[in-house]
Amino acid sequence: MSLSIGIAGLPNVGKSTLFNALTDAEALAANYPFATIEPNTGIVPIPDERLAKLAEIYKTDKIVPATVTFVDIAGLVEGASRGEGLGNQFLSHIRGCNAICQVVRAFEDSEVTRSGSKDAAHDIEIINTELALADIVTVNNRLPRLEKELKSDPKLKPVYETVAKAKELLEAGQNLRELDQEHLADLHLLSAKPVIYVFNVDEHTLADEPKKQRLKSLAKGDCIFICAKLESELRGLDEADRTELLASYGQKQSGLVQLIHSAYDTLGLQSYLTAGEKEVRAWTILKGSTAPQAAGVIHTDFQRGFIAAQVVDYEDLITAGSEAAARAAGKVRTEGKDYIMRPGDVVEFRFNV
């Protein structure tokens, strides 16, 4: 499955600067509202040091990491749902994303205009309100149509009731996460998506735990702290220099790695690996996926004709030094249709179609 994250926030909070740093792209990052008109999209390989080690074992030059797609939209302003600024037309670009990364300004810089931004709490409230108001429009458009369809198809009653409940919760400013998401899936409601709050802080705040705890208390979901300015400085550096620069600010991981880990945790994802002479590759799946479901991520034929999975744990394979040695040590096993995949699995699927 693919992982996509929509980047939202008020103007001038550092969205495009962060997008550029995460994707190593050159999106316009300017000090005025609505610098981003068309959505910027970047597909980024997910860092995974295991792949290079597997490539050495299997003697292949082809490494295919899992990827994440970032979509950066224009800054929202208060009243966007009523057409203020450029309106909420840009929200359609992130309706198909798995999660929303809400960038919140938590730095002070007199040279960067605060366009509608007052403080972190106020900014979060604005964005959440605008997302909810946009969803109310979507729900209001759907309910009359559902009501008509319900008259000829009584089986739609649960769907109608869920959408009606979603409207009630949205108008009350409440969470949609506990509703039956299958009944809401085709609406792509923004308020139903997991949110990762990214506080864009200055270099000093990275080490200011009390301030970070105060900011964390404002988030209604997972949150991370990134200095977009620092992330920009990391661009173009080799791994050793990146590590050294991060360490000088007390950081162990780049913003990209932090955001990907947060997204995996928030969305309940994990990866597994395939390896051979042709290529080594990482695949993204839901936690709890069975072996046939994991095989289906490669190709639906693999799932439909699944016979078995040959599995070896990554650490066991590295310790053994080769697949043959791992097999000789009894570390390679055959798993069936009920096997639940683990993050360290290196797998070869057997199938027949």
In this predicted structure, what is the pLDDT of residue 237? 85
Q: What pTM does this model have?
A: 0.84
Q: Which residues contact 224 (CB under 8 A, 6 or more apart)?
A: 196, 197, 198, 199, 255, 258, 259, 262
Among residues 333, 329, 337, the alpha carbon closest in space to that of 347 is found at 333
Say if CB 306 and CB 337 are below 8 A apart. Answer: yes
The token pair at 309 is: 């999975």
132-151 pLDDT, tens digit per residue, is 988 998 999 999 999 999 98
**How does DSSP assign 142-203, residue by residue?**
HHHHHHHHHHH-GGGHHHHHHHHHHHHHHHTT---TTS-HHHHGGGT-GGGS-EEEEEEE-T
Q: Which residues of the chain carry a pLDDT beneath 70? A: 25-39, 77-90, 110-117
Buried b (16+ CB within 10 A) or exposed e, 55-88: bebbeeeeeebbebbbbbbbbbbbbbbeeebebb
In this predicted structure, what is the pLDDT of residue 25? 53
Say if CB 11 and CB 49 are below 8 A apart. Answer: no
Helix, strand, or coil here: 259? helix
In this predicted structure, what is the pLDDT of residue 90? 66
208-234 pLDDT, tens digit per residue, is 999 999 999 999 889 999 998 898 888
In this predicted structure, what is the pLDDT of residue 119? 86
Q: For strand 269-275 and strand 63-64, is the pairing parallel, antiparallel, or unpaired?
A: unpaired
Q: How far apart are CA 14 and CA 104, in angstroms?
A: 8
Name the helix (H) or strand (E) containing 70.
strand 67-72
